[in-house]
Amino acid sequence: MRSMLFVPADSDRKMAKAMASGADAVILDLEDSISVDGKARARGVAREFLTSAMATWTPAQPRIYVRINDLATPFWQDDLAMLEGGLPHGILLPKSRSGEDVHQLSVALGHAEEKSGAKQGTTRILALVTEVAISLLQLPSYIGSSSRLVGFTWGAEDLSAEIGASANREPDGSFTSPYRLVRDMMLLTATAAEVPAIDTVYIDFRNKTGLALEASMAARDGFVGKMAIHPDQVPIINEAFTPPPAEVERARAIVAAFEAANGAGVVGFQGQMLDRPHLVLAKRTLARAPA
């Protein structure tokens, strides 16, 4: 998933617009964008939208995720109960504290699938693993925590509030030292867990140049996609995480060269000697290429 677009779950109009944005996934938000007093109404709106959308969903449309409230609140179980009428493709778990939270959510989703008559294990989990400090000290606990895990993502805003940072970006727009560390730790954890890493949001949504630069750097570093907070960000993100045709053709040629070498660990390719890591990178490029 190259682009995942957040949309408040209390607006039919905004959710419909998000589904037409070209995003690879839409995240119906029941957490930060909904006030405490508005959560019950948002669940009702989201339930109706989700039931209809999932009943008519086709692969040409964005996949649908729901960001529930975190497991330390009294709201998340009501969020899951609301979903039983039409389970989404996945859940974004915010403010996760450890792999135990992922496991707890996985068990709850199993019960929801049973009540809905859905196949067990089909509702996936994307874990937001950097919003609370304790999670960062327990990142290895996420590895193998659930077969439902479809990826990890990170965020800086909630963590800034928790650690008392007055800012999380430098004047030039780059992240300050603590958040560069957090980003890198999440990326390495995703790699160890063999799941995709999704980059955080770019909140200056009118700054298209800044977004394009940050998205291209994330793609360079190994992220496969990025969160979005506005439909206008989606095309920029999709372009950044779609390998250009020349890169795809080179990757195909590298894979073909190794296949022709009948299992050799090193091959000659366009005047260079390539080994197995080059093959792994080529296959990753092809996995990100358009069908």
What are the tens digits of pLDDT across the range 153-165?
999 989 998 999 9
* pLDDT tens figures, 82-99: 887 789 999 999 999 999
pLDDT digits (tens, 9 = 90+) for 25-39: 999 999 999 999 999
User: Whole-angstrom Cα distance, residue 125 to residue 78?
Assistant: 17
Q: Please state, as a whole number, how many other Cβ atoms lie within 10 Å of the Cβ of residue 162.
A: 13
pLDDT at 238: 97
Task: Name the DSSP letter for residue 231.
Answer: G
- Residue 278 three-state SS: helix
Full DSSP string of 18-72: HHTTT-SEEEEESSTTS-GGGHHHHHHHHHHHHHHHHHS--TTSPEEEEE---TT
- Mean pLDDT within 200-229: 96
pLDDT tens for each residue of 244-254: 888 788 888 88
Percent of residues, the chain, with pLDDT higher than 90: 78
Mean pLDDT of 217-222: 95
> Across all residues in the chain, what is the average pLDDT?
93
Residues of the chain with pLDDT > 70, as a percent, come to: 100
With bands split at pLDDT 50, 70 and 90, how would you rate the model's confidence at 137?
A: very high
Residues 6+ apart with CB under 8 A from 213: none
- Give the pLDDT score at 291: 64
257-283 tens-digit pLDDT: 777 777 777 877 787 888 777 788 788
3-state secondary structure of 132: coil
**Domains in the chain with CATH codes:** 3-240 (3.20.20.60), 245-288 (no CATH)
Helix, coil or strand: residue 190:
helix
Closest to 14 (Cα-Cα) out of 2, 32, 31, 28: 28
How many angstroms separate the CA atoms of 200 and 154, rounded?
5
- Look at residue 189 and tell me whether its pLDDT is greater than 70: yes
The model carries a pTM of 0.89
Q: How many residues does the chain have?
A: 291
